[in-house]
Amino acid sequence: MRYEDIVGPGKARKLIDRIEDLNEGRKTVDIGKGQKIAVDTPHVKGQQFHAHLDDDRVVNIDGTLSHGGKPFRATKREVEALRGFDFKFAKNRLVESEGDDAVTVTLDRALVELLLELKRRLG
């Protein structure tokens, strides 16, 4: 899905104008405390604008995972910086599904231990 498909061509143009100083499709933003975010333009067909965060975390402009990453919770500082580029985030800042069909479920550790114990007892 392209950014234009989500917000319309006018808003997409506004975003492109705001990041016109992209160097080879990437703008690096210093968000403080030694952390930088790299905002990339799409570089393959069907890709969205996306941002590379620390620890190999990548988020699309629509708030979904990019590059096959694992679910994560963005920091308040990351969310604040990326909202300046029109990135969307859930209220809880959780970045998970990479597509419409993907669903991520996080189980409480106590529940996992209980299920493992039950499995062990039942053989």
Encode pLDDT of 91-118 as tens digits. 999 998 765 554 556 778 888 888 888 8
pTM (global) more than 0.85 = no
Residues 70, 74, 75, 80, Cα dihedral to 10°? 150
Which one of 5-9, 64-68, 77-81 scores highest in mean pLDDT?
77-81
Instruction: Report the chain's mean pLDDT, rounded to a whole number.
Output: 80
Residues of the chain with pLDDT > 90, as a percent, come to 33
Q: Residue 97 has what pLDDT?
A: 75
Q: Does residue 21 have a pLDDT over 50?
A: no
Q: Residue 26 has what pLDDT?
A: 80
Query: Using CB atoms within 10 A of its CB, is residue 50 exposed (0-12), middle (13-18) or buried (19+)?
Result: buried
Q: Does residue 122 have a pLDDT over 90?
A: no
For the residues 16-43, what does the mean pLDDT come to?
Answer: 75
